[in-house]
């Protein structure tokens, strides 16, 4: 409303109020007296003046209310390194936007500059700069990835050696030692000898990276049966027609080959081979042999594997000061010229397992060196399956070491955390 009309309306309201007060204060009181007159006048004044003043002020223009501060916080809900994409969700509008990693040129992670490839679960990102000018230049108070409420998984078995397998190609899973031990717990979790995590490879020679954790949550360099299950699991993630897959492990590059229903993996050349060692582990002096096939293995040849007190004797050897890092322990019976029977006490599981891939490889190669058995050798494991080990002898070491056997999916599901 124009200012001059507002002023006129205010003046008219004031003039009418004065006239009414004059009438009630001079003319009307002649017929009334005392305190009743004063109270009535005050009441009438309030009834007349207040509404008129309110009506006048209602037309007065109000200053614009300050706009609420713009909330630019975002939540990164997906990081797909395989597709070079990152998806963010604005916390207020809930709108999602997907960018390629090349578009997000720099990022500040935990106070340090880096790239989007440095983003991992739980880290705080204070700002990022985008190459494109039509989007936000920086975003504050950014949180990366929601915490896990549940975890999809696949339970797999390699000749009775069982594993929980999870897809961590986005590197978004916070796999703590406590969480892994819980998942592997056979009473309160899924139950397994260990956990396998699929991660992206950072080298062009490999398709994936394999991370292996024992049932106690500690990470190990390698697991033979786990590697075969890993190869089976990632097969559909690559190409259905692919005959081979290559993946990185702390022990080196591993190749998996699909042979019908079985999986054959090649292992790195064994190291630290020691033959005909002798020691007393608590029940008299015995002969033992040692070989590292990605992880350390002590091998004891026995006449009857069934008679071995595997937990007591295996634990004594595993924790002997002879092996500062600890060791896996295999008790091996030579069944015939082409077949072994092996029972394994596994470090990290701290019990007998139904099979151990790197253990049967060490047992077979040492049987070749100590007893002259020809390769390939078939090994019957505690779970009843038979694994085949082959290698090419190269003077005092071996090349083209392979382990072949079943790798099957038992079931899949999602566990609430």
335-349 residue pLDDT tens: 999 999 999 999 999
Question: Distance between CA atoms of 318 and 300, rounded to whole angstroms?
Answer: 12
| Token pair of 211 as six digits | 């991370």
| Token pair of 260 as six digits | 């019908």
Residue with token string 């190869």? 231
Residue 328 pLDDT exceeds 80: yes
- Nearest-5° angle of CA 74, CA 75, CA 81? 120
CA distances to 32, 35, 38, 51 from 24, rounded to whole Å, are 10, 14, 10, 18
Of the spans 25-29, 276-280, 390-394, which averages the highest pLDDT?
Answer: 276-280
Residue with token string 């975890």? 151
Pairwise pLDDT comparison (171 vs 242), residue with the higher score: 171
Pairing status of strand 219-220 against strand 208-214: antiparallel
Which residues of 225-326 form beta strands (DSSP E)? 244-249, 252-259, 262-267, 271-280, 285-292, 296-301
Nearest to 96 by CA among 110, 82, 76: 76
Cα 395–chain centre separation: 43
- pTM passes above 0.75: no
Residue with token string 């006129």? 8
Q: What percent of the chain has pLDDT over 90?
A: 58
Q: What is the mean pLDDT of the chain?
A: 78
> Which active-site residues does the annotation give?
223, 356
Instruction: Grade residue 133 by pLDDT with cuts at 50, 70 and 90.
Output: very low
Average pLDDT, integer, range 283-299: 96
Residue with token string 């692919």? 242
């Amino acid at each position: 409303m124009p200012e001059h009309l507002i002023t006129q309306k205010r003046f008219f309201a004031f003039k009418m109020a004065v006239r009414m007060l004059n009438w009630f204060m001079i003319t009307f009181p002649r017929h009334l007296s005392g305190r009743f007159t004063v109270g009535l006048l005050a009441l009438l004044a309030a009834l007349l003046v207040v509404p008129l003043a309110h009506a006048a002020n209602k037309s007065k223009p109000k200053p614009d209310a300050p706009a609420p501060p713009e909330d630019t916080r975002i939540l990164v809900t997906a990081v797909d390194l395989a597709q070079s994409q990152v998806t963010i969700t604005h916390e207020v509008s809930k709108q999602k936007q997907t960018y390629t990693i090349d578009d997000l040129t720099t990022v500040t992670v935990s106070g340090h500059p880096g790239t989007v490839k440095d983003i991992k679960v739980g880290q705080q990102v204070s700002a990022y700069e985008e190459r494109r000018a039509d989007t936000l230049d920086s975003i504050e108070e950014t949180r990366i990835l929601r915490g896990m409420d549940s975890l999809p998984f696949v339970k797999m078995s390699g000749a009775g050696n069982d594993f929980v397998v999870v897809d961590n190609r986005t590197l978004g899973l916070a796999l703590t030692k406590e969480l892994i031990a819980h998942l592997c717990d056979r009473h309160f979790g899924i139950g397994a000898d260990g956990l396998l995590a699929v991660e992206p490879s950072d080298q062009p020679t490999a398709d994936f990276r394999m991370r292996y954790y024992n049932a106690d949550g500690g990470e190990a360099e390698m697991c033979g049966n786990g590697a075969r299950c890993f190869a089976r699991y990632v097969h559909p993630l690559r190409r259905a027609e692919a005959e081979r897959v290559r993946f990185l492990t702390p022990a080196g590059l591993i190749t998996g080959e699909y042979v019908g229903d079985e999986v054959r993996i090649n292992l790195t050349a064994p190291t630290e081979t020691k033959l005909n060692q002798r020691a007393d582990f608590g029940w008299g002096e015995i002969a033992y042999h040692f070989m590292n096939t990605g992880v350390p293995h002590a091998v004891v040849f026995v006449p009857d594997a069934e008679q071995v007190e595997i937990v007591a004797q295996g634990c004594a050897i595993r924790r002997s000061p002879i092996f500062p890092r600890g060791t896996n322990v295999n008790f091996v019976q030579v069944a015939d010229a082409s077949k072994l029977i092996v029972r394994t006490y596994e470090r990290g599981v701290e019990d007998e397992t139904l099979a151990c891939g790197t253990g049967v490889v060490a047992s077979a190669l040492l049987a070749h060196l100590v007893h002259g058995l020809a390769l390939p050798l078939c090994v019957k494991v505690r779970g009843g399956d038979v694994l085949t080990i082959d290698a090419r002898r190269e003077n005092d070491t071996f090349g083209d070491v392979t382990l072949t056997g079943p790798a099957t999916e038992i079931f899949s599901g999602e566990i609430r955390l």
